Amino acid sequence: MQINSKYCADLSLLEIGDNAVIGGHATVIAHSFEPRGLILQRVRIGHHAIVGLNAIVLPGVEVGERAVVGAGVFVPKGTKIQSGTVYLGPARAEGSG
């Protein structure tokens, strides 16, 4: 794994697969403050997956094996990104073929 960002929080709730990459200045967090209080949800980044430069990944997100989160993309809480896809935002995932 390769983490190129200092903006990864809640490391005990972050699962990163083999050969995964978190790009520079990406933000990955596993907590949120909501009206009902502090919410903690694990974030999973699969084997060989890439989280692009400046991307923002919120709690409960799962990035599948060999999936790519585009640079600067916001990934909402609880999003499941399928293996082998390129995620560019809600309703904009593309198959990698």
Whole-model pTM? 0.90
Q: How far apart are CA 28 and CA 55, in angstroms?
A: 8
Instruction: For residue range 49-95, list pLDDT tens digits in order.
Output: 999 999 999 999 999 999 999 999 999 999 999 999 999 998 755 66
The tally of CA atoms less than 13 A away on the side-chain side of residue 12 is 1
Residue 70 is encoded by which pair of tokens? 């585009």
Instruction: For residue range 4-35, list pLDDT tens digits in order.
Output: 999 999 999 999 999 999 999 999 999 999 99
Residue 75 is encoded by which pair of tokens? 């990934």
Residue 63 is encoded by which pair of tokens? 């990035």
Domain boundaries, the chain: 2-82
Looking at domain 2-82, its CATH class is: mainly beta
Q: How far apart are CA 95 and CA 3, in angstroms?
A: 25
CA-nearest of 39, 46, 48, 45 to 26 is 45
